[in-house]
């Protein structure tokens, strides 16, 4: 959707008359039913005045098209400014311009395409403007069939019209060069440079005809995108599907294709415990359905699984169209109905009700995902709900599917591929942590290394040794130590201290904890490890779970003050103590069950509560003989 479109002379006249920002505000109200906040209105006025200066050049054709606030179909992304026309070879062309009000920014090294700047009332990490412009251009190339078929040329750039650029400016750091080459960043004194950039692509006008083609193009993944993800998946051993995974995979393919043919909504619920292959199936479906010309996206609430699996797919590639296929679960608050062919929701138990930084957007993530797709697939393990905000459950998915008139199909993955295929280890954990009574668990012949250690240093030494061969061993801990936000990048600051043992919570380095070469020196938490797997894990169990009077008990008062997973528990405890205790108990036990099942070959455990450590040792002896 285009909020505003016209030709250059219309644009100039509206700015001169001081009416353009009002026209945009009224269009948004009429088309979207949304009132524009005053700060957004002022930003339009400032940015469009700057673009008026740029466009006021007689060599930019008066009948070239101008679009403002182009909503890229099937996404919530909006391109700020587009100029359309024909280049000197008479090829249809558009220039897309990402407008920024920023006055300064800080470069972040060691992280792909991120900067820090003041926006939204605070200093935040955001993507480099050149990356943003490039990614929007790539989205249009990858999914707009008219752009593909008519071979419309797209040239992206960014314009930071308030930004004073200096020698060796942070915006120009060498690690951003790949994006700056494809989408140059123009700043406050670059009006003439931006004009020249536009004039290279727009030599003759089009009376906004090309804007019409772009706006009305059908959604279809490009052949290059299909080939790209297929190539990434091919030969990647981590994504090979086997046994019952193949059965689920084929059935989801069948149902998804059926949705595209008959236009009926279908919702698939696939339950499976740790290591049953839920993510492997999701990634394979992402590739295959994309090759079948569907708009498909991999969705998760937590960013860690998205970052890790995207990195594993891309390998050494920094820039890839595949980036746009991995989405957060809060993406669909304003998505139109059936915008996607299939949405593949991994870790569906972690879905929230509301979206956004302040949990104030949308109605319900489950509902919005079902609404936004013809086929919605939820991979879920209810025993991995680990925060007060986690609402993902089979019953909730069924409820919203019924409301959205989506037919429900249920599937289950049983075979365990983590913990060296040992269902016995999971049964032992459930029984030992007193999550549930289990039968027939036997660790006698288990091909899985379990040790209860006497000190955290012992755990660390084992993990360091195991990590040397393949960078596949990590330390994890329950959230019982405060995380100091101000020291998030300081490796010499140690959040976790137990006697003479000291380590940092996983640092905010930008590299995913699961794959970073340095994160063996840090301790991960539930938020950076859930949905992922390692060869070996060392787990520190904090004081929030103890052994007293023959029982494993939990104590939410021992969780860190900075832990957001139990946010609201104190208020609930005052209102309904029994319910607060029940929910906290479930979250704490689920958290440790999840941490203790991240390893495929071994798990090494230290308990702050010595009685719990002794109890685990006794349980290990009893069930191994």
Closest CA to 279 of 386, 417, 401: 417
Under 8 Å between Cβ of 399 and 353: no
CA atoms in the 13 A half-sphere facing the CB of 128 = 29
**Residue 63 DSSP SS3:** coil
Q: What is the pLDDT of residue 416?
A: 62
Cα end-to-end distance, the chain, whole Å:
68
Cα dihedral 289/290/294/298 (nearest 10): 80
Residue 421 has pLDDT above 60, yes or no: no
Residue 303 has pLDDT above 60, yes or no: yes
Under 8 Å between Cβ of 392 and 348: yes
Burial class (CB in 10 A: 0-12, 13-18, 19+), 316: exposed
The proportion of the chain whose per-residue pLDDT surpasses 90, expressed as a percent, equals 71
Question: What does R_g of the chain's alpha carbons equal in angstroms?
Answer: 27
Tell me, which fold does domain 223-413 have in CATH?
Rossmann fold (3.40.50)
Q: Give the global pTM.
A: 0.87
* 140 backbone dihedrals φ, ψ, rounded to 5°: -65, -45
Residues 254-281 have pLDDT tens digits of 999 999 999 999 999 999 988 888 999 9
User: Cα separation of 281 and 246, whole Å?
Assistant: 8
Q: What is the pLDDT of residue 442?
A: 65
User: Average pLDDT for residues 523-540, to the nearest whole number?
Assistant: 94
Q: Which helix (H) or strand (E) holds 366?
A: helix 365-371
User: Cα separation of 323 and 77, whole Å?
Assistant: 14
Residue 230 has pLDDT above 70, yes or no: yes
- Please report which confidence band the pLDDT of residue 422 belongs to, taking 50, 70 and 90 as the band edges: low
Work out the number of other CB atoms within 10 angstroms of the CB of residue 558: 17
Closest CA to 582 of 388, 353, 350, 433: 388
Q: Across the strands, what pairs with 325? A: none
Sorted by sequence, the CB contacts under 8 Å of residue 212 that are 6+ apart come out as: none
Work out the number of other CB atoms within 10 angstroms of the CB of residue 167: 5
**Residue 553 DSSP SS3:** strand
Under 8 Å between Cβ of 332 and 369: yes
The residues spanned by each domain of the chain are 2-215, 223-413, 419-623
Q: What is the pLDDT of residue 625?
A: 54
Helix axes 8-16, 38-55, angle to 10 degrees: 120
Residue 112 has pLDDT above 90, yes or no: no
Residues 316-363 have pLDDT tens digits of 666 677 888 999 999 999 888 999 999 999 999 999 999 987 888 999
Under 8 Å between Cβ of 562 and 527: no
């Amino acid at each position: 959707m285009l909020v505003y479109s016209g030709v250059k002379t219309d644009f100039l006249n509206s700015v001169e008359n001081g009416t353009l920002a009002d026209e945009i505000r009224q269009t948004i109200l009429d088309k979207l039913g949304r009132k524009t906040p005053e700060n957004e209105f002022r930003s339009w006025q400032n940015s469009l005045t700057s673009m008026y200066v740029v466009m006021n050049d007689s060599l930019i054709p008066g009948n070239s098209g101008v679009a403002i606030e182009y909503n890229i179909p099937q996404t919530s992304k909006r391109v700020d400014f587009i100029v359309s026309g024909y280049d000197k070879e008479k090829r249809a062309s558009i220039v897309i311009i990402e407008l920024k009000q920023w006055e300064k920014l800080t470069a972040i090294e060691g992280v792909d395409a991120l900067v820090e700047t003041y926006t939204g009332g605070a200093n935040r990490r955001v993507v480099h403007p050149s990356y943003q412009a490039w990614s929007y251009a790539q989205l249009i190339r990858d999914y707009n069939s008219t752009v593909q078929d008519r071979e419309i040329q797209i040239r992206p750039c960014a314009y930071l019209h308030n930004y004073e650029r200096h020698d060796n400016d942070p915006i120009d750091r060498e690690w951003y060069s790949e994006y700056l080459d494809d989408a140059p960043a123009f700043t406050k004194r670059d009006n003439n440079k931006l004009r020249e950039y536009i004039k290279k692509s727009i030599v003759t006008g089009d009376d906004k005809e090309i804007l019409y083609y772009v706006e009305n193009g059908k959604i279809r993944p490009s052949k290059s995108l299909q080939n790209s993800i297929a190539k990434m998946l091919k030969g990647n051993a981590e994504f090979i599907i086997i046994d019952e995974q193949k059965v689920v995979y084929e059935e989801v393919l069948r149902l998804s294709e059926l949705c595209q043919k008959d236009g009926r909504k279908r919702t698939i619920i696939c339950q499976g415990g740790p290591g049953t292959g839920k993510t492997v199936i999701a990634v394979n479906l992402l590739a295959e359905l994309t090759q079948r010309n569907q708009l498909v996206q991999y969705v998760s609430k937590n960013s860690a699984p998205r970052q890790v699996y995207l990195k594993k797919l891309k390998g050494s590639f920094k820039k890839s169209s595949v980036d746009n296929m991995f989405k957060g679960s809060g993406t669909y608050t304003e998505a139109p109905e059936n915008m996607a062919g299939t949405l593949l929701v991994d870790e569906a138990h972690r879905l929230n009700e509301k979206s956004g930084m302040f949990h104030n957007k949308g109605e319900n993530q489950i509902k919005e995902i079902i609404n936004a797709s013809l086929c919605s697939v939820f991979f879920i393990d209810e025993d991995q709900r680990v925060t007060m905000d986690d609402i993902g459950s089979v019953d909730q998915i069924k409820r919203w599917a019924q409301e959205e008139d989506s037919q429900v199909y249920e599937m289950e993955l049983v075979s365990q591929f983590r913990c060296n295929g040992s269902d016995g280890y999971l049964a032992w954990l459930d029984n030992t942590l007193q999550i549930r009574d289990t039968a027939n668990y036997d660790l006698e012949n288990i091909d899985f290394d379990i040790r209860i250690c006497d000190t955290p240093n012992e755990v660390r030494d084992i993990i360091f040794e195991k990590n040397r061969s393949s960078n596949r061993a990590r330390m994890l801990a329950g959230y019982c130590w405060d995380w100091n936000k101000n020291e998030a990048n300081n490796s010499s600051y140690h959040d976790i201290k137990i006697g003479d043992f000291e380590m940092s919570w996983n640092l905010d380095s930008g590299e995913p904890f699961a794959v970073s070469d340095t994160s063996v020196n840090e301790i991960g938490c539930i938020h950076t490890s859930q949905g992922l797997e390692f060869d070996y894990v060392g787990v520190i169990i904090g004081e929030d779970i103890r052994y007293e009077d023959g029982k494993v008990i939990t104590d939410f008062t021992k969780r860190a003050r900075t832990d957001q997973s139990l946010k609201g528990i104190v208020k609930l405890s005052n209102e309904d103590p029994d319910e607060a205790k029940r929910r906290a108990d479930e979250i704490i036990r689920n958290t440790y069950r999840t941490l203790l099942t991240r390893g495929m070959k071994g798990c090494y455990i230290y308990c702050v509560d010595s009685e719990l450590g002794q109890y685990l040792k006794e349980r290990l002896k009893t069930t191994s003989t």
